[in-house]
Amino acid sequence: DTEVTQTPKHLVMGMTNKKSLKCEQHMGHRAMYWYKQKAKKPPELMFVYSYEKLSINESVPSRFSPECPNSSLLNLHLHALQPEDSALYLCASSQDPATNIQYFGAGTRLSVL
């Protein structure tokens, strides 16, 4: 089983709203990732958690706030987003740091009005 589950599948929010994206995996993977993907572009890395600790933040604006409550769960808290933040947000996980084989969820399609 290589399933990474993301909820919700779609989200529409205003610029003053606060919302959260959720990602879950039960494969025992110890690294989890958030990527942002704009239309017709490859995914861009946002954050990496390794053993539940934030190890990489790719200079993401503070209106995006990641959280890793336990080894199976990864959240992305959203606040005061801009319309240009509309995108597909992908979560991924990996087990083996040596090969870094990443498995992706289906994504959350976010629209900011």
Partner 1 sequence: GNSVTQMEGPVTLSEEAFLTINCTYTATGYPSLFWYVQYPGEGLQLLLKATKADDKGSNKGFEATYRKETTSFHLEKGSVQVSDSAVYFCALSDSGGGADGLTFGKGTHLIIQP
Question: Cα dist. 35→16, 46, 57 in Å?
Answer: 23, 5, 11
57: contact with partner 1 by CB under 8 A:
no
55: contact with partner 1 by CB under 8 A:
yes
Nearer to partner 1, 79 or 109 (CB): 109
28: contact with partner 1 by CB under 8 A:
no
25: contact with partner 1 by CB under 8 A:
no
- Quick one: which segment of 13-21, 65-73, 78-86, 102-110 binds partner 1 (CB under 8 A)? 102-110
